[in-house]
Amino acid sequence: MKTQYARRGEATAADGLLPTATPLQLIDADGHPGGNPGSLSLPEPEVLVELHRRMVLGRRFDSQSTALAKQGRLAVYPSSRGQDACQVGAALALRRQDWLFPTYRDSMAVLTRGVPAEETLTLLRGDWHCGYDPYQYRVAPQCTPLATNTLHAVGLAYAARLKDQDQVALALLGDGATSEGDTHEALNFAGVWKAPVVFLVQNNGYAISVPLAKQTAAPTLAAKGIGYGIPSLLIDGNDAAAVYAAVRAGVSRAAAGDGPTLIEALTYRIEAHTNADDATRYRASAEVSGWLSRDPITRLEAYLRGAGLLDDSAAARLTAEAERLAEDVRERMNADVSVDPAELFEHVYARPTAALSRQRDELLSELEEPAS
Amino acid sequence: MSRVVSSSTESAVSPAPAAAPVTMAAALNQALADSLAADERVVVFGEDVGALGGVFRVTDGLAARFGERRVFDTPLAEAGIVGTAIGMAMNGLVPVVEMQFDAFAYPAFEQVTSHLAKLHNRTRGRLALPVVIRVPFGGGIGGVEHHSDSSEAYYTHTPGLRVVTPGTPADAYLLLRQAIGCPDPVLFLEPKRRYWSRETAVLGMDGPSIDRAVVRRPGRDVTLIAYGGMVATALEAASAAVEEGWDVEVIDLRSLSPFDDETVAASVCRTGRAVIVHEAAGFGGYGAEVAARLTERCFHYLEAPILRVTGFDIPYPPPHLERFHLPNTDRILDAIARLQWEDGDRG
């Protein structure tokens, strides 16, 4: 049936837009290749080795950060343990010129993108809101308000297209964030503009305490893509190979001018929402242990050992590298934080206003007064 | 660089600029056209800004002249417009976006307050967001509900934003050019009741900087402080006050944030009396901040309490009732009359 409205082409069919009913998988939970590859193909061996290495490093960074939060050295730490495959697979799939738009739970992805651990943890330690130069790593500041970063990613990507630059933006979001209006607007803008963006939804089952069943009535989160004319993939988010391959495919599509891709990765948050949360109030320990047995690192390690890509001595070297990283993080985070109260006024505007300069001077003279 | 506005939508560059009658809408259109022509990083987008030229025609002809890569329509979603503008600015563009009406900008509030205003600070100055958000604001045009809000205080209470509003067509041109050239994000409030006011002027870049207030009418007895749509109202009241024997100075604030303490305090310390005029509700309104700042700086010069003439503390009225709500000459003169005059105070 033809309508009187001008539409985007003649096709109204959903061909190619819907995700598969079961998640795509390249390496199964026991480390066997095959699974349910669909359109995805297994990354090269050196990529798989690197995915494993970065997950081991990321996991150690994450456990060290959780410990530092418990010791009071970090103001808070939202762990991404369990989501290691999503974090590392996504970050490694980006090319040098691409941009990552992470949330507060994506510290492992930020680290994997090349941001030094100390700069990654500045926000969570609490000495400033963002510790790294976004342009140096092409990593946007970690976003605390949910879903707002998705629109920034679309805007940055569309600007690249307007400037004829080959640049793709990857927006990270969680299952809870898909309920926010900004996610809807970002998917819609991206679809209409054919913006070179990849949306990766890390569906870890919970928005703090609220389970997915209370978040959406959609059959899957990936299924939402069809409403925006965006092709979507449902993948096993604990399979680093699948995450890497899916994000890579999205990046390639975007770079070719074919527009955005929506990926839903099924995974699980092993730790509580943050160190301040008590997850036993809303989920059963059997559920957690079930997911622990589907650990993304164990799975890839089994595959690599089976394929002759990892042996005991390489594994021992990697463990030692991870311990050195943890030690470095401990040392840096246990050092006293140096903060400058004058800086509070420095970056509000490109140049401090007269009023802000007065307030800075008032604060500094207040600090100079001898303690009585 | 000075340009003269022609009646056509094409910008006409005159070798010898001459003063010509121009509306505020046309002056804003000219400012956008000249900014697009001067800087290829500038992009203009929003709802209906393309083929239609905006519901107030401020972007009239720009899409045709500069093409769809520079001037384009977006899906109908204000958070989306501001959120994507942030991303574009991160990638080196200078977005100038339009919110169709004041109250329809509220869906973008989180993007404005949590990100646009804060990303420069969040990143220790590494990430600048030279975004301009144009918001037609205020009443007086017979608009139905949600089309006449004065939303300035929501934005002035947000550190990191600049909030400016022009009172005259020539200043609309200058301020918008300055806003587009400013490295900080700017909320640009356009007094929609003045879109069609005419002024004979040469549009150019000469004038006060973006953060300065100006004295629109010098006077000795009392300082009237106004902005946006109330500047013309304050000037009318100042003219009417002559008959009563009051010599009224009128200040057009232009920049609501940052606030030009110097210019305004100097005037009030000189006149000793001040009345602040705005359409927005008085309670918690912008005038309260102005009154507090002036009290702090001018207390010993004041002959009377600083008064405010504002809209009532009510939701904006329907069209047939708005005339009872909006500040007008009579209310301003009544306020001036209450400034504890004694014989010999005037002139």
Q: pLDDT tens for residues B267-276?
A: 999 999 999 9
Each residue's pLDDT tens digit, A228-241: 999 999 999 999 99
Do B226 and B179 share a structural domain?
no
Each residue's pLDDT tens digit, B12-59: 454 567 899 999 999 999 999 999 999 999 999 999 999 999 999 999
- Confidence band, pLDDT 50/70/90 cuts, at residue A16: confident
Each residue's pLDDT tens digit, A267-277: 999 999 998 89
**Cβ within 8 Å, pair B211-A188:** no
Do B100 and B79 share a structural domain?
yes
Last residue of a domain, one of B151, B181, B204: B204
Do B200 and B119 share a structural domain?
yes
Asked whether residue B346 is domain-assigned, the answer is: no
Pick B75's closest partner by Cβ from A134, A188, A348: A188
Contacts from A113-118 at CB under 8 Å and sequence distance 24+?
Answer: A113/A137, A113/A138, A113/A139, A115/A139, A117/A61, A117/A325, A117/A328, A117/A329, A117/A332, A118/A329, A118/A332, A118/A333
**Cβ within 8 Å, pair A156-B88:** yes
**Cβ within 8 Å, pair A141-B123:** yes
Partners of A145 on chain B (C-beta within 8 Å) are 110, 114-115
Task: Determine which of B43, B69, B91 to mutate to test the interface with A (most A C-beta atoms within 10 Å).
Answer: B91
Minimum distance, in Å, between the CA of residue A314 and any CA atom of chain B: 39
State which H helix or E strand residue B204 sits in.
strand B203-204
Q: How many CA atoms lie within 13 A of A90 on its CB side?
A: 37
Pick B84's closest partner by Cβ from A133, A151, A355: A151
**CATH 3.40.50.970, domain A25-337, yes or no:** yes
Do B182 and B53 share a structural domain?
yes
Minimum distance, in Å, between the CA of residue A320 and any CA atom of chain B: 33
Q: What is the CATH number of the domain that holds B233?
A: 3.40.50.920
**Cβ within 8 Å, pair A182-B114:** no
Asked whether residue B345 is domain-assigned, the answer is: no
Task: Determine which of A162, A167, A187 to mutate to test the interface with B (most B C-beta atoms within 10 Å).
Answer: A162
Partners of A148 on chain B (C-beta within 8 Å) are 83, 110-111, 114-115
Do B311 and B243 share a structural domain?
yes
Do B33 and B145 share a structural domain?
yes
Over pLDDT 70: what percentage of chain A?
A: 95
Q: Show me where the domains of chain A are located.
A: 25-337, 340-372
Each residue's pLDDT tens digit, A318-363: 999 999 999 999 999 999 888 999 999 999 999 999 999 999 999 9
Cα separation of A219 and A201, whole Å?
A: 15
Do B196 and B178 share a structural domain?
yes
Helices (H), A210-308: 240-255, 285-292, 296-306
Do B282 and B188 share a structural domain?
no
User: What integer pLDDT is reported at residue A223 of this predicted model?
Assistant: 96
Task: Determine which of B36, B72, B74, B84 to mutate to test the interface with A (most A C-beta atoms within 10 Å).
Answer: B84
What number of helices (H) and strands (E) belong to chain B?
Answer: 12, 16
Asked whether residue B127 is domain-assigned, the answer is: yes
Last residue of a domain, one of B142, B176, B204: B204
CB A263 within 8 A of CB A222: yes
Domain that residue B304 falls in: 214-337
Asked whether residue B244 is domain-assigned, the answer is: yes
Nearest CA in chain B to A146: B110
Cis upstream peptide for B258 (omega within 30°): yes
How many beta-carbon pairs under 8 angstroms link A with B? 138
Cα separation of A26 and A20, whole Å?
A: 14
Nearest CA in chain B to A356: B258
**In terms of Cα–Cα distance, which of A234, A235, A241 is closest to A299?**
A241
Each residue's pLDDT tens digit, A23-71: 999 999 999 998 899 999 999 999 999 999 999 999 999 999 999 999 9
Nearest CA in chain B to A355: B258
State which H helix or E strand residue A324 sits in.
helix A312-334
- Confidence band, pLDDT 50/70/90 cuts, at residue A74: very high
Cα separation of A87 and A62, whole Å?
A: 11
**Cβ within 8 Å, pair B77-A343:** no
**Cβ within 8 Å, pair A163-B160:** no
Nearest CA in chain B to A152: B87
pTM greater than 0.90 (yes/no): yes
Do B273 and B143 share a structural domain?
no
Nearest CA in chain B to A349: B160
Minimum distance, in Å, between the CA of residue A103 and any CA atom of chain B: 14
Do B177 and B100 share a structural domain?
yes
User: What integer pLDDT is reported at residue B16 of this predicted model?
Assistant: 61
User: What integer pLDDT is reported at residue A4 of this predicted model?
Assistant: 60
Contact of B184 with chain A, judged by CB distance below 8 Å, is answered with yes
Partners of A188 on chain B (C-beta within 8 Å) are 75, 77, 80
Give strand ranges (E) for chain A. 25-27, 33-36, 99-101, 169-174, 197-203, 206-207, 210-211, 232-236, 261-266
Cα separation of A246 and A232, whole Å?
A: 10
Last residue of a domain, one of B173, B204, B235: B204
CB A32 within 8 A of CB A300: no
Do B120 and B56 share a structural domain?
yes
A247 phi/psi in degrees, rounded to 5: -65, -40
Partners of A181 on chain B (C-beta within 8 Å) are 79, 107
Q: Which residues contact B278 (CB under 8 A, 6 or more apart)?
A: B150, B152, B226, B227, B228, B230, B285, B286, B287, B308, B309, B310, B311, B327
User: What integer pLDDT is reported at residue A57 of this predicted model?
Assistant: 98
Return the exposure string of B77-108: e unless at least 16 CB atoms fall within 10 Å of the residue's CB, then b.
bbbbbbbbbbbbbbbebbbbbbbbbbbbbbbb
State which H helix or E strand residue B71 sits in.
strand B71-73
Q: Which residue has the tokens 């009023």?
A: A355
State the CB neighbour count (10 A cutoff) for residue A335. Answer: 10
Do B155 and B92 share a structural domain?
yes
User: What integer pLDDT is reported at residue B18 of this predicted model?
Assistant: 83
Cα separation of A137 and A142, whole Å?
A: 13
User: What integer pLDDT is reported at residue A9 of this predicted model?
Assistant: 54
Where in the sequence numbering do the catalytic residues of A fall? 269, 273, 282
Over pLDDT 90: what percentage of chain A?
A: 92
DSSP state of A337: P
Q: What is the CATH number of the domain that holds B77?
A: 3.40.50.970
CA distances (Å), origin A163, targets A158, B1, B35, B42, B69: 9, 27, 18, 12, 9
State the CB neighbour count (10 A cutoff) for residue B259. Answer: 21
State the CB neighbour count (10 A cutoff) for residue A264. Answer: 27
User: What integer pLDDT is reported at residue A372 of this predicted model?
Assistant: 56
What secondary structure does DSSP assign to B229-287, as a single string?
THHHHHHHHHHHHHHHT--EEEEE--EEETT-HHHHHHHHHHHS-EEEEEEEESTT-HH
Below-70 pLDDT ranges, chain B: 1-16, 347
Task: Determine which of B69, B123, B178 to mutate to test the interface with A (most A C-beta atoms within 10 Å).
Answer: B123
Partners of B107 on chain A (C-beta within 8 Å) are 181
Q: How are beta strands B186-191 and B132-137 bridged, if at all?
A: parallel
Asked whether residue B209 is domain-assigned, the answer is: no
What secondary structure does DSSP assign to A221-235, as a single string?
SGGGGGGGT--EEEE
Q: How are beta strands B248-252 and B132-137 bridged, if at all?
A: unpaired
Domain count along chain B:
2
